[in-house]
Structure 1
Amino acid sequence: MVWDGVGGNRLAWAELPETVRKSIEVALGSAVVDAVSQPGGFSPGFAARLRLADGRRLFAKAICAAQSVDAVAFHRREVCVAGRLPATVAAPRLLWHGGGDDWAALVFEEVDGHNPRLPWRLEDWARVHDALVRLARDLTPSPVDLPPLAADPDLFSGWRSLAADPALAAWLDPWTRDNVDRLAALEADWPEAAAGDTLVHGDLRADNILLAGERVLFVDWPHAGVGAPWIDLLGMLPSVVMQGGPDPAEVWRTSPLARGADPAAVDSLLAAVAGFLLHGSLLPDPPGLPTLRRFQRMQAEPALAWLRLRLR
């Protein structure tokens, strides 16, 4: 089965508090007459295409702290990124944000498009890959003053956490369990490996991509930071394989984004990503996100297989 990344737990428009709905309608200057929920992603919040009484069509998302404090923080951080992206960047424009103390709400221009079809089709992947190359070019140097991805050196610490927790490490396969210390050492170098001056999306996968006619747009930017231009491709490839796409080693061998990347830096960051996914997949479900751990596990397997191939 190809996992589509649908969490299946979105709020409907009618389930939002009246104060939130009214604040959106007042800000937009027109009543919402229809809201079509968009199921992709894992947030338990609201995400829908809106049709207004004046005929305009927009996209809105909202979440409250009672559902997920982390998700509220992510929504608010996305304001800091999306609101400052140059108009030339392949991303929807942020039109409004608000929500008060307990809620975070954002409204974007609507994109008449769809996520890539799954399993991945080669023509769709070729389009997305070409767009990734352009995105890295357009965002180098970063047009937004954001911290480097490595500003939080503990962002990737999965292998080190597993090395320190024998009970959790016991769930690993024999090769992985025998190499935990080696993988932890590789992971520890990820801040230096990720260094660069490109604005990186930080969370690319099929449900954060829209194909709209000839355009490819990238949505959901709360995890953005500054780093090496090849990071988004590397971080995305495990999900591409999981969803029926091409072999990551072959993509990496032929991609302009990988050209010139230090192999040791690639190994370090790939180890960091694989450890993050695998360690996360062994933890309890976070509140409101019942499918996240399974999704992480299904990406961890191809990430680790690719890493093992590189470490031979």
Structure 2
Amino acid sequence: MSHTIVPAEGVRLPWEGVPDHVRRAVEAELGAAVVAAVTQTGGFSPGVAARLRLDDGRRVFVKAVSAETNDISARMHRKEARKVALLPPGTPAPRLLGSYDDGTWVVLVFEEVEGRQPHIPWERDELRRVLAALGELARIPAPDGVHAPREDGFGRWREIVAAYDAGEDDLHGLDPWVRDRIHELAEREDRWAVAAAGDTLAHGDVRADNILLTADGAVFVDWPHTLRAAPWFDLLISLPCIAMQGGPDPEETFAAHPLGRDADPDDVTTVLVAVTGLFLGGARLPAPPGLPTLRAFQKAQGDQALAWLRKRL
């Protein structure tokens, strides 16, 4: 199918746009003043994402958002602070150096990673490096405190069916293949958490804008969705986005990867049903403040996931 590349971007705020008292508090925690800030593109946060240079020579990465701009993003930052504190040594993730939370502004400060996001459209060698890194990540056991699969945005088919049966949704905009099978998809979606179960540490939201290519391989950033899941979970959720951004066919890539070859086919299809619903169901919701491309991004991912699902079913 044709590729519709949609950028992953929110409305970025420069570091200088953060209130003075918040910036002073962050500098106090770091024990140094910020002398330069470079805003980073890519990703969906409607707040700050910047590389900072401090007056003692250190470099850090900071992300910050106000709940008044987007309360969901503020809650995601708080969730990420809790999750990254649980990541075991050796996880390919930046280390959290400090945080600030006054109930409105939430700021996370990470060590700076010397790396860059993959090129889009995907280049073969860079994709190979990321697929290898996913294989290495799947070797890490999930630590205590990282939860097993649960709702967290899944269950969209069930929500759509409930609204349809109540006469509140006419299924407008959904593919005819989906409309004909909407109850079947919702029923199968109910089993996704069991199908995705496992003991592996999973990032839970692998996309190009959450990856930094480094001299040693790849580092994954933005960990609010991390969970305990099957080893192949991250591979599966990444492939619709990779395909949408110029990458290869998801089924072929999954089947060729060691994680995909070892996966139970029925479990994979069940989780793919839920992932397809997550994207296509989310795309039908109103756009959140400060995230103008999110719904189009979800729709493009959902279209790729649906094409893959139709092959498997």
Q: Would you say same fold, with TM above 0.5?
A: yes
Match of 2:41 in 1: 39
Match of 2:70 in 1: 68
Secondary structure of 1:67's match? coil
2:228 is equivalent to residue 201 of structure 1: no
Any residues of structure 2 matched to 1:248-259 within 5 Å, and which?
A: 248-259=250-261
2:27 is equivalent to residue 29 of structure 1: no
TM-score if structure 1 supplies the norm length? 0.94
Distance 2:232 2:154 in 1: 17
Give the letter for the 1:165 counterpart: A
Match of 2:156 in 1: 158
Give the Å deviation of 1:161: 1.9
Equivalent pair of 1:133/1:257 in contact (CA under 8 Å): yes
Work out the number of aligned pairs and report it: 306
Distance 2:245 2:23 in 1: 36
Q: Deviations over 1:137-167 (max 9, x none)?
A: 0x22x134222122x3x73111122223343
Give the Å deviation of 1:168: 4.5
Match of 1:176 in 2: 178
2:135 is equivalent to residue 136 of structure 1: no
Distance 2:229 2:80 in 1: 18
Distance 1:144 1:114 in 2: 31
Match of 2:106 in 1: 104
Match of 1:115 in 2: 117
Give the Å deviation of 1:85: 1.8
Q: What stretches of structure 2 of length at least 5 have no aligned partner?
A: none
Equivalent pair of 1:157/1:188 in contact (CA under 8 Å): yes
Q: Deviations over 1:99-154 (max 9, x none)?
A: 222121111110111000010011001000000000010x22x134222122x3x7
Secondary structure of 2:258's match? coil
Q: What percentage of residue pairs aligned between the two structures are identical? A: 50
Secondary structure of 2:103's match? coil
Equivalent pair of 1:92/1:108 in contact (CA under 8 Å): yes
4+ residue runs of structure 1 moved beyond 6 angstroms?
none
Give the Å deviation of 1:302: 0.6
TM-score if structure 2 supplies the norm length? 0.94
Equivalent pair of 2:78/2:106 in contact (CA under 8 Å): yes
Distance 2:211 2:170 in 1: 34
Secondary structure of 1:88's match? coil
Equivalent pair of 2:9/2:45 in contact (CA under 8 Å): no
Equivalent pair of 2:13/2:48 in contact (CA under 8 Å): yes
2:149 is equivalent to residue 149 of structure 1: yes
Equivalent pair of 1:190/1:272 in contact (CA under 8 Å): yes
Distance 1:53 1:95 in 2: 17
Give the Å deviation of 1:204: 0.7
Q: Deviations over 1:66-108 (max 9, x none)?
A: 0122211111111112123223111111111112221211111
Q: CA RMSD in A?
A: 1.4
Greater relative contact order (CA < 8 Å, ≥ 6 in sequence): 2
Match of 2:6 in 1: 3
Secondary structure of 1:216's match? strand
Distance 2:99 2:288 in 1: 26
Secondary structure of 1:182's match? helix
Distance 1:15 1:61 in 2: 12
Distance 1:253 1:19 in 2: 52
Give the letter for the 1:191 counterpart: A
Give the Å deviation of 1:308: 0.3
Give the letter for the 2:9 counterpart: V
Equivalent pair of 2:83/2:223 in contact (CA under 8 Å): yes
Distance 2:144 2:51 in 1: 27
